[in-house]
A and B are shown apart, each in its own frame.
Chain A
Amino acid sequence: MSEYLLRAVDIVKNFAGVKALQGVSLDIKPGEIHCLAGENGCGKSTLIKVISGVYQPDGGYIEFNGQRYTSITPRESIAMGIQVIYQDFAIFPNLTVMENLAFNTELAAGHKFVNKKRMRQIATEALSKINFDVELDRLVGSLSVAEKQMVAICRALMFDAKLIIMDEPTTALTKKEVAALFEIILKLKAQGIAILFVSHKLNEVFEISERFTILRSGQLIATGNTSDLDDKKFTFYMTGREFEDVKFKPAFEAEKPVLEVKNLTVPGAFEDVSFELKPGQILGITGLLDSGRTELSLALFGLRKASGGDILMKGQKVTIENPRDAIAAGIGLVPEDRLSEGLFLPQPISDNIVISEIDGLSGALSVVDRKRRQDEVDKWVRDLAIATPNPDNACTTLSGGNQQRIVLAKWLACKPDVLILNGPTVGVDIGSKHDIHAILQRLANQGMAVIIISDDLPEVLENCSDLLVMRAGRIVAQLDPATTDEALVLQHMM
């Protein structure tokens, strides 16, 4: 019996000339919580797929319980006790909890006919492993994201799992749900199950893991005990760059507010919300998922109908009933889900950048002036350092961070007075996150008023000049980020 449950040694994997993994090693001890971190495209997913048998490595070997394999099949991987919980959980939303839990076992046993009694038994047993309580006959599609994840975990536990790999499990969870998940992870650890936790969120890595491995561009950068790691090192390992945390300080103090919101109410979402925003300010709005923060951003952009209250731009009352009104009034919104709400993913990067200012680029007869369009595209690709070989490539070819920059470019091109960003760095890697923060601070210093809506507390504390906390549809606190810490903000949020 070796010291390690799993060792992946010098794994090499190439895809059509692209070196996805260049001799990466990963060691996992029995019953440990190990964090695998790295920016998008660093080879994390490829490594997981090699371990779970989906990909066959081009070099290196895998050792499981001292047994050496040059490659494994998915079936062998499962038989050895390796289970992967994918980001999409690999569940069937159209089927019941019972069927979702029991299918794998039933199929593995080669049963041809449905036996509800046996399936119910399997499902009940699976749920009891983590004491998860849910109606067996409910459709999985009607469960919350966290509940779906629990179903996926229960299912993974049924095969005598020794190692559970969780691929960015906290992405769509609220703070409370993350806490519940961590509790379960600790419970699993107590049962001797090792967890490989894939994440690029700093605070989670520190909170849950005992050891870490960090990859960058297909290479192993660092591995060791999490206790030896700090924020600065972590960020450096991830990105290969040093960042200085710049606390935002407004460069100037404007006299008059550009945006005033008075007693704004959207029934069922939030009520009686008032605040004002001056040019050069960055206002943070934070709160839990159902606090009404997202609805507030949508209402300011004309996507949610307000039943009462006023919105004033530069002292003038404006009526905002749809996004066009909002754009005309000088308000831009970078939405929460940039993939479905902010970008035309299959379309070229260039078209995505100019889409909002297309009217301004057209000459006589509303024909788009190609040269001016090209100038504009070049300018933004340069200004925001969008990493692309060709702006005419589709947006799908970019990483999350670069996609977010395009959404930003799109709005900056219209020169709004007020720019609202909802979760500006969700799903964005650390390097891009810093860059985006720097861009926002620069914009504010150039005179734009910015609103950041986010539940990433370090983000709002660091980048905002003022902070509003929302709870259950109301503003419950107005804080000064310079004198506030996370614990205090959390207190107001809960």
Chain B
Amino acid sequence: MKSIRKFTGRVEFYIGLVLVALCLLIQVRSGQFFTPNNIVDILSALVVPGIFAVGEFMVIVSGGFDVSFPALASLSAYATTKLFLNMNYEGSALLPLLVAVLIGAVLGALNGLFIGYFELPAMIVTLGTSSVFKGFMQGTLNSKQLAVIPQGMRSFGTSAIFVAQNAQSGLTSRMPMTFICFVLVLIAAWFILTRTMFGRGIYAVGGNAVSAHRAGFNVKRTRFFMFVFVGMISALAGMCRTCMMQQMHPTNMLGMEMNIIAGVVLGGTAVVGGSGTLLGCMLGTALIVVVENSMILIGIPTVWKDFFVGALIIIGTGISAMRVYAANRPGARSLRKEAAK
């Protein structure tokens, strides 16, 4: 009984419930949601936002906001693609991926330097670095849309783990190889956050940075390396996007940050830092992806997409805010005491 209540009292439970309800609604209205190809399409659409969300999740848990990751991802992916095009590179995608991740680590370290060691607010710093990254890409690298990408990256983007087919319509969808990247990032983040002292340090810093320092955590170093890691996985997401789109569009990812933050917060991550789970973060992100991709299936024109995403954010965060309010309401305390008797 107690464990059930513990389970149903969690934000993840409600967000999961909403997600299932939405999927069922779309299924009832269209009959097309639970078809193999649609499920694969949704999962494939989840890859890039999913990886970004993992990074943003870590930053929010540590008590800040990162708005620079789309620019960081664009810059790393653009520079890498351009470099390997100029080299006429013909090998596999592995090397470009590594180079991009390395660039991401350097750019993330820049964020980490200002936020960790100079103790500036993450939101302000990343607003600044976001502009710097964009400006560097458009000015110094003179970015233009790259219609072709190196062979290795192209085949990485188009190769499939398996192909799903819709029995009725005969439409097929490929489960992209990039999905493996997403899964690997998830596993790595889960391991870091729950199984290493560094990861617990991120939670501790987000809960109370002064206490974390007194307990013996190196707060500066924790923040710094977290941003390096976030830079790495953001760059990876940028490369996944480029490979899957078969072209490098330098401004295509910019502006994604708000929906990603929304998904993470919707999944129950506290905006003040310190609490939240990867499961919730993924459910919240999935909810946004489903709304963005499937409204068309129930006949709602795509122009309404932003409206529904917005409504979802307000309702979702509103519900959790109300639950917090109800729990802290004066009088609730004595009532609970009564119940305990």
Contacts and interface: CB of A to CB of B under 8 A. Distances in A.
A290 B216 contact: no
Nearest to A114: B195
Nearest to A115: B195
Contact of A103 (B200, B274, B330): B200
A132 interface: no
A93 interface: yes
Interface in A89-130: 90-95, 99, 103-104, 106-108, 111-114
A94 B215 contact: no
Interface of A: 86, 88, 90-95, 99, 103-104, 106-108, 111-114, 267-269, 290, 295, 304
B197 A107 contact: yes
B217 A268 contact: no
Contacts of B335: 268
A269 B200 contact: no
A129 B296 CA distance: 62
B205 to A, nearest CB: 9
Contacts of B337: 290
Given A91-B211, A92-B204, A92-B212, A112 B197 contact: yes
B334 A114 contact: no
Interface in B325-341: 330-331, 333-335, 337
Contacts of B206: 94
Nearest to A110: B197
Contact of A112 (B198, B203, B211, B275): B198
Secondary structure class of chain B's binding surface, majority of residues: helix
B215 A103 contact: yes
A111 to B, nearest CB: 6
B16 interface: no
A113 B207 contact: no
Given A92-B212, A295-B330, A304-B330, 4 more contacts: A90-B208, A99-B200, A104-B215, A269-B334
A88 B214 CA distance: 12
A176 B207 CA distance: 29
Interface in B174-203: 194-200, 203
A88 B215 CA distance: 13
A108 B208 CA distance: 19
Nearest to A104: B215
Given A94-B206, A95-B204, A104 B216 contact: yes
Give the residue among B194, B203, B330, B333 with the most A Cβ atoms within 10 A.
Answer: B330
B210 interface: yes
A269 B216 CA distance: 43
A168 to B, nearest CB: 17
B197 A114 contact: yes
Interface in B259-301: 270, 273-275
A52 to B, nearest CB: 10
26 contacts: A86-B214, A90-B210, A90-B215, A91-B208, A92-B208, A92-B212, A93-B207, A94-B206, A94-B270, A94-B274, A99-B200, A103-B216, A106-B197, A107-B197, A107-B215, A107-B216, A112-B197, A113-B197, A114-B197, A114-B200, A267-B331, A268-B334, A268-B335, A269-B331, A290-B334, A295-B330
